[in-house]
Amino acid sequence: MKDVIIDDSFWQTYPEAQINLMWLTGFDNHDTDDNLAERQELLRTATAESDKFTKVDPFRNNPVVAEWRDAYQQFPKRKGARSSIEALLKRASQGHEFTPIEPLVDVYNSISLRYGVPVGIEDRDKIAGDLHLGTAQGGESFFPLGAEEDDPARAGEMIYYDEDGAVCRSLNWREAQRTMLTDDTTNGIVVMESVNADQAARANEAMAALAELIPTYFGIKPDKTAVLTAETK
C-alpha cells in the first residue's frame, strides 16, 4: 500500500464525516495460548460494556444502529447490507459469547464493542497502490470470505478500493479475502469511519485505547495515526 486517499465523493456524501487511521508494522498475529485467557476476558468485558449501545427496544432504534442505517441509505447496496458495528452489537445483544479468533481481531473487536464504532484492519502488503474510499464505478472485483465467484461492487456504492478491485464493500459491511487480516499479516492499516460529531468523538477515544493495547499484545507501537475530515483531507 502506498497511501490512503479519501475521494471527494465520500466527503460530498458525508460532509461531517471523519476517518481515523493507524499504521501498524512488524507485528506477529499468530494465535498463541500465552494471552488467550486475557483476550477472552477482554472480549467478555467489552461485550458487557456494549450494553449501553443496545438498551433501546427495538434494536434498530438504538442511536448507533439508527445512525448507521441512515448512513447506509445514501448509496446503493445489496439488500440487507448493514454496518459492521450493527452486526457486532446485534450478536452481543443476543447473548453471543465472543471467543478468541486471532490476536489483532480480538483486540479490535473489543474496541469496537466498547466504543460502539466500526473498526477495520487490512493487510497493507496486499493492497495494490493507494487505498481509496469513495463511490464505486461499478464492476470492481470483490471476493468476500468463502466466496468462489466474483461479486462486483455496484455503481455508486461506497467502497474501499485499490488498483485490483474492491477492498471493502458498503463502507464497512464486508471485506475482501484478498486483503483481509490473517495470522500471517505483519503490516496493517486500521480504519474507523464516523459520519457525525458524536461518532467521531468516540472514534478518537477508541483509537487512543487501541494504541494503548497494541504494545501490550504485540510488543510494538503504532507507526503513526491520522484523522481526516473534509477540511483536513
Q: What is the pTM of this model?
A: 0.96
Omega cis (within 30) before 58: yes
Dihedral (CA of 171, 172, 176, 181) sign? positive
- Name the pLDDT band for 146 (thresholds 50, 70, 90): confident
* Statement: residue 233 has pLDDT above 80: no
Helical H segments across 74-102, by residue range: 84-93
- Name the pLDDT band for 147 (thresholds 50, 70, 90): confident
Number of domains in the chain: 1
* Statement: residue 145 has pLDDT above 90: no
Give the residue numbers spanning the domain of 90: 4-229
Distance in angstroms (rounded) separating the CA atoms of residues 121 and 106:
12
**Cβ 220 vs Cβ 188: under 8 Å:** no
* Statement: residue 210 has pLDDT above 80: yes
Per-residue model confidence as pLDDT tens digits over 80-131: 999 999 999 999 999 999 999 999 999 999 999 999 999 999 999 999 999 9
Helix, coil or strand: residue 141: coil
CATH of the domain at 175: 3.50.40.10
**Cβ 75 vs Cβ 13: under 8 Å:** yes
* H or E, element range at 169: strand 165-169
32-57 mean pLDDT: 96
177-190 mean pLDDT: 96
